[in-house]
Amino acid sequence: MQLTSFTDYSLRVLIFLAIRKKSSIAVIAESYGVSKNHIVKVVHNLGKLGYIKTNQGRGGGISLAMSPENINLKKLVVQTENFYIVECFHPQGKCKIASVCKLKGILYEAQTNFLNTLENYSLQDVLHNENEIKQLLDE
């Protein structure tokens, strides 16, 4: 399974803000070498979901709306990811063998295990080496 770049960037924006406390879209995009347009979409969505807050004007910027230990990785991934990993997961899927194939059940079990693992972690768990992350972001 591969997460979409949208989910990847969502996680990276939250990591950046947890380390820096406050920043801007331009600085985050430049630091990661990612398109500013992608980060705009990610920041907009994270704001709608309540993970970040934005303040405009002098001294403004983007910051976390909650502490890193309150940001559950499973919840974030579920909110940003499409889990129709194969056609038979989609309600309008048209796989001819779906009614007799065991693949759907196996993949569902794997997906469930993946999400159950993420449920045990928060953004804070990712920040155990905060100084090293900060150094790399400064390069």
Helix (H) or strand (E) holding 64: strand 61-64
pLDDT digits (tens, 9 = 90+) for 38-85: 999 999 999 999 999 998 877 789 999 999 999 999 999 999 998 777
Write out the residue range of the structural domain in which residue 118 sits.
5-138
pLDDT digits (tens, 9 = 90+) for 13-23: 999 999 998 99
Instruction: Please state, rounded to an integer, the average pLDDT across all residues of the chain.
Output: 90
C-alpha distances (whole Å) from 138 to each of 12, 39, 102, 132, 133 are 14, 18, 48, 10, 9
Tell me what pLDDT residue 12 has. 96
The pair of structure tokens assigned to 2 is 């591969």
Q: Please tell me the distance from the alpha carbon of residue 105 to that of residue 64, in angstroms, as a whole number.
A: 37
Q: How confident is the model at residue 137 (pLDDT cuts 50, 70, 90)?
A: confident
Residue type, 98: A
Q: How many domains, in total, are found in the chain?
A: 1
- What CATH number is attached to the domain comprising 26? 1.10.10.10
